[in-house]
A and B are shown apart, each in its own frame.
Chain A
Amino acid sequence: MKIGFIGLGIMGRPMALNLIKGGHEVTVWARRAESMQPLLTAGARAAVSPSDAAQGNELVISMVADAPDVAEVMRGVAAGAAPGLVAVDMSTIAPGAARLIGEELAAAGVDFIDAPVSGGEVGAIAGTLSIMAGGTEAGFAKAQPAFACMGKNIIHVGDSGAGQVAKAANQIMTGMGVLAVAEALAFASKNGVDGGKVREALLGGFAYSRILENHGQRMLDRNFKPGFKSWMHEKDLNIVMQTAHELGLCLPGSAATAQMFNAMVGSGYGEEDSIAVLKLLEKLSGQA
């Protein structure tokens, strides 16, 4: 399939590479021209604009930072779109913003699918991302061959915006999950008990989670290299809290968690992995 790909950051680059590996004909565009180079070496064509990245393609995928960026590149895509184009945004943005962009593109005759991912850089490189999609059945079906190159667990969650709702729910779970593991390990440590042993014991029971397994180990190793940067997790939790505010939805646990992530960014841990929340707990309890 002929695919345009916009946004070649930590996630976008390996995702686009996997599309090329999957035999698709890929055109790339990125704001910084130098980030296109590795893709061009791998056989991609360079576009000069988002509109150019849409031209002549059946599918366009974006992977950028935030809702205003998505809206901007998608406006360009709509301008260059051939009839029947499906545009897929895999960035994490607010469900409401995704729905608005979907409506705008529908008016221009472009089928828009929101399809954020979970699995981080590791999942992007391995092609094992979880992909949660919102939009029309037909649009989802058309994007499916591309999704299959980038991800494993690919779910059509519902209508436009539903993918972003699932992603926000994912960030509630992972945000509170990381904080829960950090609190459990801080609890063990303040009690003079070996956190590594506690983790091992818990892994066999109902408290088992992938976060306890992976993030827990990295906390014990005190390896705060990202992974998933805490400022990005903070941004995603802000999407959760703003959506809850608009809906009149009471989320006390998420609210407390979001404030811890807010404090992480304020304390200069923004560029570290979200497990740096452990350091914040230690600071508050005089364990640092």
Chain B
Amino acid sequence: MKVGFIGLGVMGRPMALHLQRAGHELFVWARRPQSAAGLPATLCATPAELGRYCEVVFTIITSSADVEGVALGKDGLSEGMVPGSVLIDCSTIAPDAARRIAAKLGEKGIHMLDAPVSGGGQGAIDASLAIMAGGDAAVLERVRPLLDCLGQRIVHVGPNGAGQVAKACNQMIMVAAIQASAEAMRLAAASGVDCGKVRQALAGGSAASRVLEVMGERMVRRDFSAGIEARLHHKDFGLVLAAARQSGVPVPLAAVVNQQLNALMAQGWGRDDTSSLLRVLELL
């Protein structure tokens, strides 16, 4: 199948490669063409041109505005993609932005799935991403073989936007768990106890979690170089709080975690790993 891919960053690049290795013909567009260097793919001049060639197009880029621009803007995908083709947006954006873009594409007969992913750069490389999809179930079934190249757990959550709601929930739980791990590591260290040993002990019990395992380890080793850049979690928390506000649902813990992320950004650690929340605690 002819597959388009836009967004060749830490996540996008390995994902695009998996699709190509599975035998699909890959077309890419990149704002900075050098980020497509070395990829076995046809480089297109605009998203519209890419859209003309492809039955299915993936995007994984930063913000709601970026996705809106690439999909609906001048020389955007909607100017090239034909009726019946499918846009799979794997970016993390606002649920209402996802709904809006899907509705606009729908007017032209173009299908869209919001399909944000969880699992980080390693999950992208290992093709073990969790994929949470929103949109028409029949469309998801059509493209499921492609998603199978990228992840192991593909869940149809509901209509357009539902995937992004699930991702917001994912981020709330995950970053709150990072904060909880950081507080535990800090308490252990401040009590004169080896926090590596504490982490090891906890890993066997009820407090065991992937976050404690992966991020806790980084905290113990004080290796704050990015796994996941904290600025992305900070951005996601903006979406979480906005969604909570729209629904009139209080999220007291997420609100506090967001303030810790604000402090992290103020320290200039946005491009470091989110385990840097430990360093924020150490400031106080």
**Chain A residues close to B by CB (< 8 Å):** 234, 238, 241-242, 244-245, 247-252, 255-256, 258-260, 262-263, 265-267
List 23 interface pairs A-B (beta carbons < 8 Å), by A numbering. A234-B245, A241-B255, A244-B259, A244-B262, A248-B264, A249-B262, A249-B266, A250-B263, A255-B256, A256-B256, A259-B250, A259-B252, A260-B250, A262-B245, A262-B248, A262-B249, A262-B250, A263-B248, A263-B249, A265-B248, A266-B248, A266-B249, A266-B250
What chain B residues lie within 8 Å of A249 (beta carbons)? 262, 266
Whether, in the assembled complex, B19 has its beta carbon less than 8 Å from a beta carbon of chain A, the answer is no
Contact with A along B239-266 (1 / 0, CB 8 A): 0010011011111100110111011111
Q: Which of A250, A255, A259, A267 contacts B266 (CB 8 A)?
A: A250
Residue of B241, B259, B260 contacting most chain A CB atoms (<10 Å): B259
A248-B262 CB under 8 A given contacts A238-B245, A256-B256: yes
Instruction: Name which residue of chain B comes closest to A263, CB basis.
Output: B250
B255–A250 contact, CB under 8 A?
no
Bound CA–CA A248/B248 (angstroms): 24
Bound CA–CA A256/B259 (angstroms): 10
Bound CA–CA A245/B258 (angstroms): 8
Q: Which of B241, B245, B250, B259 contacts A251 (CB 8 A)?
A: B259
Chief secondary structure at chain B's binding surface: helix
What chain A residues lie within 8 Å of B159 (beta carbons)? none
A258–B263 contact, CB under 8 A?
no
What chain B residues lie within 8 Å of A241 (beta carbons)? 241, 255, 258
What chain B residues lie within 8 Å of A251 (beta carbons)? 259, 262
Extra 7 A-B pairs, beta carbons < 8 Å, given A241-B255, A251-B262: A244-B259, A248-B264, A250-B259, A256-B256, A258-B255, A263-B249, A266-B248
B245–A256 contact, CB under 8 A?
no
**Chain B residues close to A by CB (< 8 Å):** 234, 237-238, 241, 244-245, 247-252, 255-256, 258-260, 262-266
Q: Which of A245, A258, A266, A267 contacts B247 (CB 8 A)?
A: A266
What chain B residues lie within 8 Å of A248 (beta carbons)? 262-266
Bound CA–CA A245/B242 (angstroms): 11
Q: Which of A247, A255, A260, A265 contacts B258 (CB 8 A)?
A: A255
Bound CA–CA A208/B252 (angstroms): 28
What chain A residues lie within 8 Å of B264 (beta carbons)? 248
Chief secondary structure at chain A's binding surface: helix
A262-B244 CB under 8 A given contacts A244-B262, A245-B262, A249-B262: yes
What chain A residues lie within 8 Å of B244 (beta carbons)? 262
Residue of A234, A249, A251, A262 contacting most chain B CB atoms (<10 Å): A262
Bound CA–CA A204/B243 (angstroms): 43
Instruction: Name which residue of chain A comes closest to B258, CB basis.
Output: A255
A255-B263 CB under 8 A given contacts A262-B248, A266-B249: no
Bound CA–CA A260/B250 (angstroms): 7
A255–B250 contact, CB under 8 A?
no
What chain B residues lie within 8 Å of A242 (beta carbons)? 238
Q: With both chains docked as a complex, state the minimum distance between the C-beta of A235 and any C-beta of chain B, in angstroms.
A: 9
A259–B265 contact, CB under 8 A?
no
Q: With both chains docked as a complex, state the minimum distance between the C-beta of A266 and any C-beta of chain B, in angstroms.
A: 3
A250-B249 CB under 8 A given contacts A255-B255, A258-B255, A262-B244: no
Bound CA–CA A265/B259 (angstroms): 22
B255–A259 contact, CB under 8 A?
yes
Residue of B237, B247, B252 contacting most chain A CB atoms (<10 Å): B252
Q: Which of A234, A250, A265 contacts B260 (CB 8 A)?
A: A250
Q: With both chains docked as a complex, state the minimum distance between the C-beta of B84 and any C-beta of chain A, in angstroms.
A: 36
B247–A255 contact, CB under 8 A?
no
Bound CA–CA A245/B262 (angstroms): 6
Instruction: Name which residue of chain B comes closest to A249, CB basis.
Output: B262
Bound CA–CA A12/B262 (angstroms): 36
What chain A residues lie within 8 Å of B234 (beta carbons)? 245
Q: With both chains docked as a complex, state the minimum distance between the C-beta of A287 and any C-beta of chain B, in angstroms.
A: 18
Q: With both chains docked as a complex, state the minimum distance between the C-beta of A55 and any C-beta of chain B, in angstroms.
A: 36
Instruction: Name which residue of chain A comes closest to B249, CB basis.
Output: A266
What chain B residues lie within 8 Å of A260 (beta carbons)? 250
A256-B262 CB under 8 A given contacts A238-B245, A262-B244: no
What chain A residues lie within 8 Å of B255 (beta carbons)? 241, 255-256, 258-259
A255–B245 contact, CB under 8 A?
no
Q: Which of A234, A255, A266, A267 contacts B259 (CB 8 A)?
A: A255
Q: With both chains docked as a complex, state the minimum distance between the C-beta of A174 and any C-beta of chain B, in angstroms.
A: 18
What chain A residues lie within 8 Å of B237 (beta carbons)? 245
A250-B262 CB under 8 A given contacts A256-B255, A259-B255, A262-B244: yes
Bound CA–CA A234/B265 (angstroms): 25
Q: With both chains docked as a complex, state the minimum distance between the C-beta of B170 and any C-beta of chain A, in angstroms.
A: 20
Bound CA–CA A266/B252 (angstroms): 14
Q: With both chains docked as a complex, state the minimum distance between the C-beta of B63 and any C-beta of chain A, in angstroms.
A: 13
What chain A residues lie within 8 Å of B259 (beta carbons)? 244, 250-252, 255
Q: Which 3 interchain pairs have the tightest Cβ spacing? A: A266-B248, A248-B265, A263-B250
Q: With both chains docked as a complex, state the minimum distance between the C-beta of A229 and any C-beta of chain B, in angstroms.
A: 14
Q: With both chains docked as a complex, state the minimum distance between the C-beta of B200 and any C-beta of chain A, in angstroms.
A: 31
Instruction: Name which residue of chain A comes closest to B231, CB basis.
Output: A248
What chain B residues lie within 8 Å of A250 (beta carbons)? 259-260, 262-263, 266
